[in-house]
Amino acid sequence: QCPESTRLHKLTTTAPPPPVALHPPATTSILSKGRMFRSGVLRVAAARCQRAVAPTSQRARSRGCGEAITGFSGSARVTEVARRGITTVSAGFWGQGTRTVTAVDCHAGGEPARVIIAGAPHVAGDTMLEKRGSMILHHDEFRQLLLQEPRGYPCQNANVVFPSTAPGCDYGYVILEQNTIYPLMSGHNTICVATALLETGMVRMVEPVTEFVIEAPAGPIAITAECKNGKVTSVKLLNVPAFVGHLDVEIDVPEIGSVTLDIAYGGMWYAIVDAASVGLDLVPSNGKQICRTGEMIKVAAREQMPVQHPEIDYPGPDILCFRAPPPPGSTADGMNAVIMSNVALDWDRPETWTAMIDRSPCGTGTCAVMATLHARGELPLHTPFVHESIIGSQFIGELTAETSVAGIPAVIPTLSGQAWITQHCQIVVDPTDPFPVGYTVGDIWG
C-alpha cells in the first residue's frame, strides 16, 4: 500500500480486490516489443524484446506516492528545519564550486517541460529504466532543484537527457515531476524533448519530416516530426501499449461518497472519472475544486483499488483524469482535466487535499482514455481521437493495433501535438546558496 498519507482512511467497505498483476511474469511479452526504429514506417519492431529490464530486486519502486526523500547523494548533509518545513542541504553537496545546468524550457499544449541537455549529475544505469531507479534513490535533489522554488514552480516538469545505448535510439531521457513522481512515460514531456533535440541541432533536422527514436524509461519511443523553416510544427509519437486495469469500479471517498471510475495504463496509471458524476464543470474558474476532488478520488482509488504494471515495478493509480464532453463549438471528441500531485495528501490535514491541473490535454492520459473506449467498443482502430484540455489546447490520439501485455488485452497508441521553446537558460547553484534544492511553501503548494 502506498504511504501517501500518514494515516490511511478507515474504510467501512469490504476488503479491496488484489492489485492487477501482482506477480510479473518471468519472461517479457509483447509490451517489450513494438517501437519504431529508423525504417521511416510506423511498424512494430522486435527490437523492444531486447530492452534491458533490471531484475525486480534491482528495480526501484516508483516514488509516485509521496514518499519522503530522507537523504541525498554523495556526502551531503541533510538538515530538516522542522519549524519551517524546509529541507536544506549543506553548501557543498555538489562540491565547492558553482554548479550550472543548461536547460531548454518548452511547453506543449500549455504544460511546461524543462529539458536538461547539460550539467546533470552522473547517473548509474545502462537503460533509462535503470537510470530512473538511480535518480529516485540517489539523485532526487536534482529533481527538487529543477522543480521547486526559487528555480521552479508547482506546474513545472523536467526531463534529463542522456546518451542511449538502446539499439537505434539517438538519446534517452528520464522524466521528473512533482511529489517525487518519476513517470515511465509522458506524452507532453516527450513532445517537448523531441522538439528541443531537433531545434537545438542535437538531432539533425530533415525537412519536411524527421524520424528518430528516443528511449524513455518505458522503452524506445518512435518520433515522426514535421518540420518547416527550422521549426518543429508537429510531433507524432508511437507510445508503449495502453491497457485497462479496471472498468466501472466503485470506491468510497471521504466527504464525497461513492465514485465510479476506470483505471487504465497509458504510460502512467490513471483513475478516469466522469466529471459530471461528481458535480464538476471543467472550466478554469473551478480549478481549486477540480484539484481537491480529483486528488481525493485518486488517493482513495490507490488505497482501495491498487494496480501494478505486470512487467515493470510501477504501482498506481498515480494520476487522475476527469472526462467531459467537448465544449460548444469545439472540434474535439472530448475534453479532460488531468490532476497531478504536488504534495502528499494526508486525510488528517484538509489543507493537503489539493493538487494541480495539467494545462495540456495530457498525452499518456489520452492514451489511457482511448484504451478504455476501445475496451468498451466505442473507439475503433485507426480512428483519430481529438482530446482538449481545460485551456482549449488539443492533442490527437489514434489506436494503431491491438496487442497484449502479459496476457492483458492492450492497444498501441500514437499521439500528436506541438511544442514551443519558451527560453534557453542556465540554472545556477551557488555553493553559498542556502536553498540549493529549493523549497515549498503552503500558499501555492498545498
Catalytic residue ranges: 186
Show Cβ contacts of residue 390 under 8 Å, excluding neighbours closer than 6 positions: 282, 283, 284, 287, 290, 335, 336, 337, 357, 359
CA distance 179 to 395: 25
Whether 367 and 413 have beta carbons less than 8 Å apart is answered as yes
Report how far residue 418's alpha carbon sits from residue 233's, in angstroms, rounded to the nearest whole number: 6
CB 172 within 8 A of CB 162: yes
Q: Give the span between the Cα atoms of 314 and 308, in whole angstroms.
A: 6
Report cis status (omega within 30 of 0) of the bond before 284: no
Name the grid cell of 397. Answer: 490520439
Cα distances from 198 to residues 85, 104, 214, in angstroms, run: 41, 12, 12
Helix, strand, coil % over all residues of the chain, rounded to 5: 20, 35, 45
Element (H, E) at 227: strand 219-228
Instruction: Determine the residue type at 97.
Output: G
Which residues, 6 or more positions from 267, have their beta carbon under 8 angstroms from its beta carbon? Answer: 183, 184, 185, 186, 187, 216, 218, 239, 240, 242, 363, 364, 367, 368
Cell numbers at 48, concatenated: 523492444
CA distances (Å), 240 to each of 343, 371, 374, 398, in order? 28, 12, 16, 13
Which among 425, 443, 437 is positioned nearest to 112, based on CA atoms? Answer: 425
